[in-house]
Structure 1
């Protein structure tokens, strides 16, 4: 009963299909007649106009259309490869789902027949091959009127043949592996021939995917990589021929992705020297593919440039990794050879006096590969160096072409560079006996730092018309780049002084940090540091000074008194005073720092802390002989000398505030004076002996009186100057009248 219902359903479907097909053909005929009538009307209208009636403006516009800018060509070519994919998916989604569903339906039918023992294993394979052939024949029958739909149908038939051959070999064992491989090769060859004959890019995409997946379908788990890559090389050669004959760019990218995956897996699984030959062959094939437009149209389009970048750096990574694993030399032969090839193309551009996109791309790739070769010769980390140089190359191409695709790839690769660099830095923990500077870890950091510096220069020279989100990423990148410089040098310094006492390591690290920020502030205009970052750096600089004097200085003095280190370390520690004084005297007056009122208070705090702590350090060095003396002297200094120092500094701040327009200095001075008095009366007097109390009160009193006298005198001077200024203005007004 069920079979009768299925037969009736099939008959109904056939009748409905034939009826709908007849109606669709009638509609097509009507549309054809309408188009023909419209064409006749347009032809008659065109005849009424003379060619000479075209306006000069139209002639100019036509000239502009015939001579577009190179960047506009690149952008148009960039869109050509992206938008048709989405258009194809939107317009043919139903057909794709339909053929996929049909293939699944055939598979489920065969499974149902197998479960009910209707057919044997050979018959199952025969049904699969017959169904695939039938579907391909249907596509061939429909190709004249429904080209795209027929290509999808034919691709589904090819998929059925691939899966049938795979199942017949893996599940039913109907033939050997060699026979299965020959069958899949035959299917691939036939499908490529059909796609070339039908002029169908969609069909050849199906064919290529099936051809690259065929080895996985018939794999038995035994690795026969040379045989596999001979097969892949043959596919890539056929791809290259079809790409040149038909100009289909998508098939080259599909082949490149599959080839890179296979080569990468083989390289990591079993590094063998024979793999290098396949890397070389793949490099030649895909380089020729990428240069197709260069030789035919004398130009490089965005996806061609991206292919050139990727094939160069994947080739370098693979070949150098194999040489490193097998301990062969020289490892720079491959990046140098690739650089030589690009230099030849660069020379070709130079001799023909073409200095456009291609010239920039070849020069960028050549310089990048030479940089990688130089770094690898000194055993720098492979992945980190290659990614860092590649990111810079993409940014360079972005600057030359202004195409977003290279900016986007730069944003993708640069975070990978940071991750790889951080992983490289962790190797300092286990490294032993590294040379100063000329060691793999620091050389890797140097490459990353140099590329980051070049990136900063490139970003600085980019056009001003950029989006806000682009500027946001660029600001983050700038901050991260400065952090790379800082961390790279700091870790190298710390590694080589790791045998010193901890306080010495901390002190040297703080000193380097201060000088690093000082250098950024000193060359802030050349580095194009904006005002916000400048003010932030100044705050960080003086914050580090406060931390340095309290922790590092006190620790150094303690170790000197305990005879753990000598006095030279304190002299070295005191070098922070040079950038501190220069910054306060030369850099701060011309910066935006003082536009924030809080900055006056912050600077006053840093000065008070530095002067107080250095006076305390010198006092301990002079008077202390052991650790026990330090505690007594510390309390004595706090009670007797510290109030005097604060009172003197408070007077200086008050005087500075009155003499200049910076009133915040005066407020800070009065605040410090108030703290000193409160400290004296609430704490110090209860800790001092009578003699010390008398001395402190007398000296502090004298300082306060002198400060008050200076304040009053300066106040009178200012008032007199104001009066004289007013009188002078009045006289000038009288003379004018």
Structure 2
């Protein structure tokens, strides 16, 4: 067999194999389809209802926990759970109306009926006043006895009847005393005491709040002792004190919160309204303070009693109650003392006494180791608030700020160290107080021309104001160190906006306070020098006569404040680069450097030019010294500017910034350099009395700097520098044609055009020679 036949044979075998392969593939697919059909059929059969048990009619494994499934099984017969639930709701509603609501409505109607009957008998004079009161007491006693009789069988109903009876006894006593004068004041008062004691006993015995509410809180509606002259306050508040004492006794047993809150609100409301309408300093000063303290202590003890005995968790309503009780007491007490001649001298003592009370209570609670410690921390926090309030009341000026700042630092450290976050929260409040108090101190002690309105002279750096500012900044610095420490954790979530605000505010307070301390000292020094330079020149001086001051001193003030600012931001940059490595601080620091340099380029260079003019013209030189310092100060300032720009350059290469500021920095750097060189050119042409060459010199300077930027842009492969150079070239040519050419003679015009032309030609040559480098830069 030749090769040709062999090839044909192999092809034939290959075709057979391919056909068999196709047949096998079809068989495989058919099997898959059949398997899928069988699998789907089995799944559907599993989903069908399973056969029920022959006897019960229940499916195998059926869950009968649901009432609905029990209905399907037939086990519940005709009784449906929906009907049972409806019947249950109706039964509960019926129980509530029949056992609770109706009897309360009934006792209210009964009391109203007795009152209407009494009113009718009075209007028609059916019985004498004495008989009316006796009948009233008898009705209350009968109702009371009937309530007691039903106690064993119908306790809830009996409690309502007893509470209604107590209310009747209260009001009958009120009518007997107020309307008919059948009782003297002391007798009525003793009867009220008896009813209060009885109400306390019955409420505890029945274990029903309704009796306490009607018996005690209802007693507030009987302010019957307000009808007798000067003794009314003592009697009224003695009566309220008895009611509150009853509440305190109940709190030892039950601590019914609604009762406590009601008595709290009624007591302070009555006292506050009495203070607004009837308080007289000469009559009620001592009485009001005594009862104010009694009410405060009563409610404080009521609160603490339950907390100490029942070990209740500290909740938000407890915070509100403690704050209200403390600050209502303090606010009214402060107002009472403030209206009294002697009391005005005791406001600080009164405030610190509040702090001592809360501090002692916090120690007492802290020693109860089972109780929630948050109560102790919160009460001690209130004590610290009162200490903070005492500071501005008793002290003045810098001492207030110092104590607030020290207190803030201490609280922040304790809060972070012991994870007692209530202290940390209080420290934030004190930080803001200290910061703004320090600002107020600055406004009071410093200010532009402050020395002009007073003979006070502040010795630079050696004065209480500067020392106070340093101590406040030290407190903020300590807080900042604790805040940065990884040893302590804050309760604030770092991702929340509040946490970010606080994290920014703490270092901002520190830096602003530290910067302001020296800034104000420098400003105040030059302000005092300016005020002290005041002279009066008589008419014998023909050229100058009148009132004059040395305005160069204000220019020196401006320059030295700018120099100090440049030094401050440069030092801050150094510390952040070497030690802190804070990204946010670095970004803010760069912005501050830019702002400081811009201020120098505008206000600073203007002030330096004014000093130069003053030196050259020697204005009032016979009275004020116009020395070389007016000129040399420029180069001291340029050194500070160079330092700030150098620190900016160092910032650019820091990894912790995580942003590329290279292009903005180069733009800012070269703009600043060109600005300073232009100012320096003007400065020296002015000194050399060659002002006619200023315009020519500026055009040549700008053209030369454009050429330098092109060289630098090609060398460093920085396209933006070359574009900036071309833009500066265009601005220079525009200035030349529009502004310079009209003021220059032919020779000067020729010089300028030739020089700029040469610079442009050389620039073009460089572009052509290094076009491969420029091309690579564009690709990159």
Common topology (TM > 0.5): yes
TM-score using structure 1 length? 0.63
> Which residue number in structure 2 is paired with residue 330 of structure 1?
none
Paired residue for 2:73?
none
Distance 2:391 2:672 in 1: 56
Find the partner of 1:689 among 730, 741, 745.
745
Once residues 719 and 404 of structure 2 are traced to their aligned partners in structure 1, the CA distance between those partners, rounded to angstroms, is 53
Q: How far apart are the structure 2 equivalents of 1:199 and 1:720?
A: 88
Aligned residue runs from structure 1 range 259-658, under 5 A: 259-261=329-331, 264-265=334-335, 270=341, 282-297=354-369, 301-312=373-384, 314-315=386-387, 318=390, 321-322=393-394, 380-402=397-419, 405-427=422-444, 428-429=446-447, 430=450, 432-461=456-485, 463=489, 465-474=493-502, 476-477=504-505, 478-498=507-527, 499-500=529-530, 501=551, 502-525=554-577, 526-527=579-580, 528-530=582-584, 531-563=586-618, 565-585=626-646, 586-591=649-654, 594-595=660-661, 597-620=663-686, 622-624=687-689, 634=691, 636-658=692-714
| Worse overlay, 611-620 or 462-471 | 462-471
Give the CA deviation at 1:26: 10
Q: Within 2, Cα distance between the matches of 1:699 and 1:25?
A: 120
CA separation of 1:124/1:387 partners in 2, compared to 1, >3 Å: closer, same or farther?
farther
Assess, with a 3 A threshold, how the Cα gap between structure 1 residues 274 and 704 changes in structure 2: closer, same or farther: closer
After TM superposition, give the deviation of residue 641 of structure 1 in Å. Answer: 0.7
Q: How big is the alpha-carbon RMSD for the aligned residues of Structure 1 and Structure 2? A: 5.1
- Mapped to 2, the partners of 1:160 and 1:545 lie a distance apart of 74
**Structure 1 residue 121: deviation in Å?**
7.3
Distance change in 2, residues 1:552/1:295 (3 Å): same
Q: Specify whether residues 221 and 227 from structure 1 end up closer, same or farther in structure 2 by C-alpha distance, changes over 3 A only.
A: closer
Following superposition, the deviation at residue 543 of structure 1 comes to 2.3
User: Are residues 496 and 132 of structure 1, via their aligned partners in 2, closer, same or farther at CA, if it must alter by over 3 Å?
Assistant: farther
- Distance verdict in 2 for CA 1:299–1:11, change over 3 Å: closer
Equivalenced residues, count:
567
Which residue number corresponds to residue 3 of structure 2? none
Which residue pairs with 2:539 in the alignment? none
Please report how far the alpha carbon of residue 706 of structure 1 lies from its aligned counterpart in structure 2 after TM superposition: 4.4
Secondary structure of 1:523's counterpart equals helix
C-alpha change, 1:496 and 1:661, in structure 2 (3 Å) is same
Return 602-611 or 557-566, whichever deviates more. Answer: 557-566
Q: 1:659 aligns with which of 706, 710, 715?
A: 715
Task: Please give the secondary structure, in 2, of the residue aligned with 1:497.
Answer: helix
Q: Aligned-pair distance for 1:671?
A: 1.2
Distance in 2 of aligned mates of 1:587 and 1:490: 26
Instruction: State the Cα deviation string for residues 208-254 of structure 1 (Å, max 9, x = none).
Output: 77777887647432287677656666777777877776545858666
Which residue number in structure 2 is paired with residue 221 of structure 1? Answer: 281
The answer for unaligned runs of 5 or more in structure 2 is: 1-104, 114-142, 145-150, 309-313, 531-550, 620-625
Q: Is the 8 A contact 2:337 2:347 kept in 1?
A: yes
Change in Cα spacing, 1:657 to 1:719, as seen in structure 2 (3 Å) is closer
**Structure number, greater radius of gyration:** 2
* Whole-angstrom distance in 1 between the partners of 2:350 and 2:194: 35
Q: Is the 8 A contact 2:196 2:242 kept in 1?
A: no
Gaps of 5+ in 1: 1-5, 19-23, 30-94, 325-378, 625-632, 723-737
Deviates more, 1:139-148 or 1:490-499: 139-148
Separation in structure 2 between the aligned mates of residue 204 and residue 181 of structure 1, nearest angstrom:
18
Structure 2 residue 229 is the aligned partner of structure 1 residue 173? yes
* CA distance 1:602–1:576, shift in 2 (3 Å): same
Query: Does structure 2 retain, via aligned residues, the 8 Å contact 1:256–1:286?
Result: no
Q: Which residue of 1 aligns with 2:217?
A: 156
Q: Contact 2:494/2:500 (CA < 8 Å) preserved in 1?
A: no
Greater shift in the superposed pair: 472-481 or 640-649: 472-481
CA distance in 1, matches of 2:387, 2:292: 16
Q: Which has the higher contact order (CA 8 A, sep 6+)?
A: 1
Alpha carbons 1:381, 1:424 under 8 Å: kept: yes
Question: Please, which moves more after superposition, 590-599 or 388-397?
Answer: 590-599
